[in-house]
Amino acid sequence: MVTFKFIDFGKNLGTRTLGQKVRERLMPLLASNELVVLDFTGVDVVSNSFADECIAKLLLTMPLAELKSHTTFRGLNPMASESVLTALQRRHLSMA
| Mean pLDDT, contiguous 10-residue spans, the chain (96 residues) | 97 97 96 93 97 96 92 96 94 81
The pLDDT of residue 93 = 86
Give the DSSP letter string of 12-57.
EE--HHHHHHHHHHHHHHHHTTS-EEEE-TT--EE-HHHHHHHTGG
The pLDDT of residue 96 = 67
Half-sphere CA count of 47, side-chain side, radius 13 A: 12
Domain count across the chain? 1
The pLDDT of residue 94 = 86
CB 84 within 8 A of CB 57: no
pTM of the model as a whole = 0.93
Range(s) of the domain holding residue 33: 2-95
Please tell me whether residue 10 adopts helix, strand or coil conformation: coil
